[in-house]
Structure 1
Amino acid sequence: MLEARLAEYGAVPISHGALLPLLAEYRRPNDKIAEWMRQGVLIPIKRGLYLVGTPWRQEPVCLPLVANHLYGPSCVSLDYALAWHGLIPERVHEVTSTCMRRGRVVTNALGRFSYSTVPAALFPVGMTLERQEKVSFLMAGPEKALCEKVLLTRRLEATSRAAMKAFLFEDLRLDDDALGSFDLAIVEHFVKSGHKSRQMQALWRVLESLQ
């Protein structure tokens, strides 16, 4: 049964090209793909990219993995990563990522996925490989997620240690105990990059005082 073969993909998104070998016996494979979408066997997440629907998919949907596949190269970061690492108390519904290409927003049946541009030299800094169930995905470590939050927050005037502390602990409501274990070498990459240098220096001073 073809649906059983689809189930082997689990929570990993499937491209249109990967489906075609399964449908080699069909004269019009796109008609079968359209039928599967109508039946819920496949869930379209963008043009030419799908997830296997339930009950054929036994694993839960992994939103960070979907984000990696929707637009790349990209890395889940900013608010979603801060929440993932337990640094902020709020539950984040939008999956936020950073990338080197032009930013964009993708909305589909699974939710809203946003992508913000960071300088190419900073993109790999502090990136980690996280795991959920049987799948792995690119996620910013806590240091990268926070540095990119400072970098990409518009009109952020927190250039003194006091002002940065207010941003971190009053605006973002970060867990200061967790910040005490940050790897300052990663933060230093952002400080030395020259991007928002005064804010990054203020961030480094706050983090250094918590060590």
Structure 2
Amino acid sequence: MKINPLVKFGNVPVQTGTIAACYDYLLSPSEKIRALEKEGQLIRLKRGLYVVSEEVSRKPVNACLCANHIYGPSYVSQQWALRWYGLIPEQVYTMTSVTTKHSRKFENSLGRFTYEQVKPEYFAIGIDSVEENGVSFLIASREKALCDLILHDTYLPHQSVKGLWQYLEEDIRFDMDELPTFNVNIIEACAKFGRKENILNNLVKILKR
């Protein structure tokens, strides 16, 4: 039985050219790629980038890893990361990442992927590499994910400690019992290099209570 050449890519996103090299004996490898997508063997993440379906690779498609590859450098953050850590209760349907490039949006069969721009010195703070199902992806630490959300949320309370507490507890329904376990150094660094310094410093005050 002939082995499907796509299997070797596993569940790591792969460029069109790399896939086409598997079919260089054909007159039109690009037509073959379109046929494989139509058959469901390939999932199109964006123009020129695919991931092999779970039915072929026998490995689950990791949306966080796909997000890292769709637009980078980037790491998964904000509501998606907070939900992943179990810090907010609501389901999250858009995967938001942070990047040093211009803000962008992508949509594919896996879902909606958005990217928010920050300065490079802020970007580098509090990023974790996490291994899941045999692959590693970049995601914000718990502290960085919360700071990223505060920085990019268009709705924020009055710039006071009390207002921020209300925002966390009532508006995003954050698990307040976890706050004492947060690394305050990460938040202080975010306050130094990010926007909304006053609000992030109020978050530091809450942690130091």
Normalised-by-shorter TM-score class: over 0.9
- CA–CA separation in structure 2 for the residues paired with 1:36 and 1:119: 39
After the TM superposition, which of the residue ranges 139-148 and 177-186 deviates more from structure 2? 177-186
Q: Does 1:164 align with 2:168?
A: no
Q: What is the CA distance between 1:185 and its match in structure 2?
A: 0.7
The answer (yes or no) to whether the contact 2:11–2:53 under 8 Å persists in 1 is: no
Q: Which runs of 5+ in 2 are unaligned?
A: none
The answer (yes or no) to whether the contact 2:98–2:116 under 8 Å persists in 1 is: yes
Alpha-carbon deviations, 1:6-25, whole Å to 9, x = none? 11222111111211321121
Identity %: 38
- CA–CA separation in structure 1 for the residues paired with 2:104 and 2:152: 14
Corresponding residue for residue 27 of structure 1 = 27
The answer (yes or no) to whether the contact 2:54–2:60 under 8 Å persists in 1 is: no
Q: Structure 1 130/26 Cα, relative in aligned 2: closer, same or farther at 3 Å?
A: same
Q: What is the CA distance between 1:193 and its match in structure 2?
A: 2.1
Q: Does 1:183 align with 2:191?
A: no
Amino acid in structure 2 at the alignment position of 1:67 = A
Alpha-carbon deviations, 1:81-134, whole Å to 9, x = none? 001111101121211111111111101111101111112211010000012101
Matches within 5 A, 1:115-194: 115-193=115-193
Alpha-carbon deviations, 1:14-70, whole Å to 9, x = none? 111211321121222112112211211212111111111242121111110111111
Corresponding residue for residue 62 of structure 2 = 62
Alignment coverage as a number of residue pairs: 209
Q: Which runs of 5+ in 1 are unaligned?
A: none
Scaled by the length of structure 1, the TM-score of the pair is 0.93
- CA–CA separation in structure 1 for the residues paired with 2:29 and 2:91: 41
- CA–CA separation in structure 1 for the residues paired with 2:94 and 2:23: 34
Scaled by the length of structure 2, the TM-score of the pair is 0.94
Corresponding residue for residue 36 of structure 2 = 36
- Classify the secondary structure of the residue corresponding to 2:145: helix
Amino acid in structure 2 at the alignment position of 1:134 = G
- CA–CA separation in structure 1 for the residues paired with 2:33 and 2:110: 19
Corresponding residue for residue 6 of structure 1 = 6
- CA–CA separation in structure 2 for the residues paired with 1:136 and 1:60: 13
- CA–CA separation in structure 1 for the residues paired with 2:170 and 2:75: 26
In the TM superposition, structure 1's runs of 4+ consecutive aligned residues that sit over 4 Å from their partners are none
The answer (yes or no) to whether the contact 1:64–1:137 under 8 Å persists in 2 is: yes
Task: Please report the RMSD computed on the Cα atoms of aligned residues, expressed in angstroms.
Answer: 1.5
Corresponding residue for residue 107 of structure 1 = 107
The answer (yes or no) to whether the contact 2:53–2:61 under 8 Å persists in 1 is: no
Q: What is the CA distance between 1:156 and its match in structure 2?
A: 2.1
- CA–CA separation in structure 1 for the residues paired with 2:3 and 2:122: 42
